[in-house]
Amino acid sequence: MTASQIELEGAEGRSFSVSTGLFIDNKFVPATDNATLEVENPATGKHLATVSAAQKADVDIAVASSKKAFASWRKTSPSQRRDYLLALATALEKHASELASLEALDAGILYRESMGLNVSQALENLRYFAGWADKVDGETLTIPEGFAYTRREPIGVCAAIVPWNSPLMITMWKLAPCLATGNTMTPELCPLYAQKLGEIIVEAGIPPGVVNIVCGLGQVAGAALSEHMDISFTGSPGVGRQVLAASAKSNLKKVTLELGGKGPSIVFDDADWENALMWTSLGISVNNGQICVAGSRIYVQDTIYDKFVKEFSARTAESVHGDPLLPETTKGPVISAGQRDRILSFVDKGRDSGAKLLHGGRALDSAGHFVANTAFSDVKQDASIMQQEIFGPFASIAPFKTEEEVIAKANDTVYGLGAAVFTKDLGRAYRVTEAIEAGQVTVNMWGTVNANTPFGGVKESGFGRDMGKDAIEEWTSVKVIKWNMMDKL
């Protein structure tokens, strides 16, 4: 039985169709017992689509398909895997507008942000790791008995549990190195972009079973994947703990975790004024702050603090909210009514802590899930709005006097994903970036990602790396072969 299709309207009124089924063996099929998910448009709060919801039995079928495909995919020559990834990039680029439209409709991501970041990063990662496919080599080692050499071998059937906030980009962070190194994958993704991705995989000619896509509820499909096989996971710290527990209880599968963040942006008084304001404003407004690396804690040196707070508020207080498909919209909705209410619950916590509300702190529409850009100043270090990941357009600003003080404040968190430092003093930039406990620190910019640079965290922000050469290690295991070249020992 094949799944049905639905018609959607994307950017500039262009219509396109997507399947509603699970993508298994390069076909779209209904879920077991015809189980479904209702998908809402967060900009309107109205029903958008009904799609199949993977059950445990569907995960078992998808895993079996990937396991069968792995037997031949691992033997596919590296140059062929390279060509498949390049073909996937070409096909994805052809459908870029549809994919960006789906991220706007399904997750409230601004269409232009999706095109400018998520789609471009997906393409960059596919092409970057295509280049790695025929360069995953081992080492030759000298040992007393003769020599040894190492091989980097694929893990096997892998899974990626991908979040809703930048789904296309993060999927390719996982999928590109996974396939390049000879693994197969069964991701659990959020609809609807994943439905279109399945069609693009077929168009690129990737063999059946190499990639299966099982959309579903985390506690059903995600849990089944966690208990089943090797996993790469991006999401919240709480769910990350569940994935680790599932690994321990099942087969001690290899796990990489990219989890939450509470990133500090540190502005020294010698920083380029316009540059610092631009990047700190972007750091908490891109995708409504619904990104783990958001610069949600802003520390400003006391000599420029009052001036900065005034200008930051003037620049970030106002936005044009509405349909994320429209070019004039500067603010889309947050993902759900529950997330909207959670973000707004921190407004009272901020006031109760004695911090000053600069702007925002309210919902913008009764129909969609819109939250005004919100900022508090004079925030105490132990305030919940300074310590907890809010995952919304919510900035907490505080002053500091010295390098030592701001380093201590920046590191006073359970998280360690990203940080940003703004200064013209090269020596200071070196000292501070060395001292900050984070997986990525940027200087005089915020949150940039590149396919050739590793991305990941420390502390409760997780472990393992996406992108860059380091990602190859996450998707392979090392085997050593030792040769005795002596007549006798």
Catalytic residue among 103, 199, 227, 258: 258
Phi, psi for 483 (deg, rounded to 5): -115, 130
Whose CA is closest to 42, among 399, 418, 392?
Answer: 392
In angstroms, what CA-CA distances link 20 with 25, 222, 236, 271? Answer: 15, 19, 27, 50
pLDDT of residue 241: 86
- Maximum C-alpha span of the chain: 83
Tens of pLDDT, residue by residue over 435-455, are 999 999 999 999 999 999 999
Any idea what the Cα angle at residue 82 is, between residues 80 and 86, rounded to 5°? 115
Strand stretches in 313-408, DSSP E: 356-359, 374-377, 394-400
CA 416/CA 419 separation, integer angstroms? 8
Given a contact cutoff of 8 angstroms between Cβ atoms, the answer to whether 334 and 324 are in contact is no
Mean pLDDT calculated for residue range 83-96: 98
Strand stretches in 401-445, DSSP E: 418-422, 440-443
Is a pLDDT exceeding 60 seen at residue 135?
yes
The sign one gets for the Cα dihedral 71, 76, 82, 87 is negative
pLDDT of residue 129: 98
CA 452/CA 450 separation, integer angstroms? 5
Helix axes 120-132, 78-94, angle to 10 degrees: 170
pLDDT of residue 187: 67
DSSP 452: T
Whose CA is closest to 284, among 182, 209, 389, 381?
Answer: 389
pLDDT band of residue 318 (cuts 50, 70, 90) is very high
pLDDT of residue 64: 93
pLDDT of residue 92: 98
Whose CA is closest to 222, among 68, 31, 64, 56?
Answer: 56
CA 254/CA 478 separation, integer angstroms? 13
Domain annotation for the chain: domains and CATH numbers:
5-259+463-477 (3.40.605.10), 264-451 (3.40.309.10)
pLDDT band of residue 489 (cuts 50, 70, 90) is low
Of 18-22, 251-255, 278-282, where does mean pLDDT reach its minimum? 251-255
pLDDT band of residue 139 (cuts 50, 70, 90) is very high
pLDDT of residue 258: 85
Tokens of 197: 């991705």
- The whole-angstrom distance between residue 394's C-alpha and the CA centroid of its chain comes to 19
Is a pLDDT exceeding 90 seen at residue 264?
yes
Helix axes 167-180, 120-132, angle to 10 degrees: 10
Tens of pLDDT, residue by residue over 469-485, are 999 999 999 999 999 99
Mean pLDDT calculated for residue range 344-352: 98
Q: Is 222 exposed, middle or buried (0-12, 13-18, 19+ CB in 10 A)?
A: buried
Q: What is the CA radius of gyration of the chain?
A: 23
pLDDT band of residue 1 (cuts 50, 70, 90) is low
Mean pLDDT calculated for residue range 408-428: 98
Q: Does residue 38 have an active-site annotation?
A: no
Is a pLDDT exceeding 90 seen at residue 240?
no
CA neighbours closer than 13 Å in the CB half-sphere of residue 323: 11
Q: What is the mean pLDDT of the chain?
A: 94
pLDDT of residue 231: 67
SS3 235: coil
Helix axes 273-285, 305-316, angle to 10 degrees: 50
How do strand 36-41 and strand 46-52 relate by DSSP bridges? antiparallel
pLDDT of residue 188: 63
Contacts of 143 (CB under 8 A, 6+ apart): 482
Share of the chain above pLDDT 90, in %: 85
Tens of pLDDT, residue by residue over 276-316, are 999 999 999 999 999 999 999 999 999 999 999 999 999 99
pLDDT of residue 367: 87
Mean pLDDT calculated for residue range 12-37: 95
CA 112/CA 121 separation, integer angstroms? 13
Strand partners, 213: 23
Mean pLDDT calculated for residue range 210-234: 83
Catalytic residue among 158, 178, 190, 292: 292
DSSP string for 44-75: TTEEEEEEE---HHHHHHHHHHHHHHHHHHTT
Q: Does residue 215 have an active-site annotation?
A: no
Mean pLDDT calculated for residue range 167-184: 95
